[in-house]
Every structure is written in structure tokens, then in C-alpha cells.
Amino acid sequence: MIATVPSATLLGVEGRPVVVEVHVSNGIPGFTVVGLPDAACRESRDRVRASLLSSGLTWPLRRVTVNLAPSGVRKGGPGLDLPIAVALLVASGDLAPDLVAHTAFVGELGLDGSLRPVPGMVPLVDVLTARAVVVPTACAGEAALVGRHRVRGASSLRGVVDALRGDGPWDDVPAPAEAPPPAAPGDLADVRGQRVAR
């Protein structure tokens, strides 16, 4: 079975949309990541496996192929762990496809199943076109700054699965912080030394 989940990765400081495709088939058990992944993306195999097992979820003893599309764009960072895990659960039949429809996922997984924050959350969420986005609770406030998506926070992979199934609530998303007041204009009297420049 094939599952597709939207996500994003950083290229420099700009976000790039990524479609995570997972295919689970019969054959010698294995896990392959294709689509120009960097070392952190290739290592997601071990993080996703440990996270699923630590969360009480099943790891399919089948052949798993993960494609990070578009294949011509370099993918970097651990922020694709969560979408890979969710797509794997859908492809293996543990989650119904309609539960993740119109929802994007961004987040790093710990070996214990915890969700860790990802740097650059604003540009990552900004390029997503899904109606909702699931992110680690620690950076949900940052993701909410974009303002175009329904932001859902979770602190663990088990929490994401339970909330998607309706067995538990999403974590509260903090309101975006207000912008600080503008700074008072500078005064040359505050500059010490630099007589020639003043």
C-alpha cells in the first residue's frame, strides 16, 4: 500500500514543500529512503523504528520504501521524521488515510517517541498548502505566526496517533506573542568614544 503525507524542509533559510511517499510491500524486510536525503534524513529509519516501538505501535516486518518528492531537491534535517512515521502507519494500515487528509506534519522524533522542535518553523509552515499542520508543541506558537493553517501541537508520536483517531486531545497551542514595542530612536549622546564618527 502507498501513503502520501505533505511536509517541508529547509534549503538555506527558505522552506521547500516535500511530499513524503511511503510504500509498504511484501519482500525481504528493509527500509530505504530515496529522493536526495542528507545523512539526517537517512538516519530517520532508526529514529522512526525506535519511536514507533517505544510508543506501543507496530513496525511492519515488510519492505518499506520512502520517497521524498520532488526527487531533484536536496532534503535535509530531521524534521521529516514525523511525516515518515505517520505515512508509514497509514501505508501499513494502522491509520486510516482519511484521518490525515489535508494535514501536513513537521517534527523530529526522539527514540522514546517524543516530538522535538525543529528550527525554522515559520518558513517551513509558510510553504505548506494543507489546511492543518501538526508540529511539536514546543514550536506550535511559532508555527501559528503564519496564520493560514490550523496548527495542532503534540508532544509525542503516541499523542499524534491518539488525537488523529479521536482517542485524545491535541495539546494547547499558545497564542502568538505580540510584537515588542518599537525601540526609542537612538541618540549620539549614547555612543561612547568615536569622536570622529560622531
Q: Which residues contact 148 (CB under 8 A, 6 or more apart)?
A: none
Q: What is the pLDDT of residues 53-77, one digit of tens each?
A: 999 999 999 999 999 999 888 998 8
What is the residue-averaged pLDDT of the chain? 91
- pTM across the whole model: 0.87
Would you state the pLDDT for residue 72? 87
- The CATH architecture of the domain made up of 2-176 is 2-Layer Sandwich (3.30)
Which pLDDT does position 180 carry in this prediction?
A: 67
Tens digits of per-residue pLDDT, 89-145? 999 999 999 999 999 999 999 999 999 999 999 999 999 999 999 999 999 999 999
The full set of domain ranges for the chain reads 2-176
**pLDDT per residue over 147-168, tens digit each?**
889 999 999 999 999 999 999 9
Residues 6+ apart with CB under 8 A from 25: 62, 63, 65
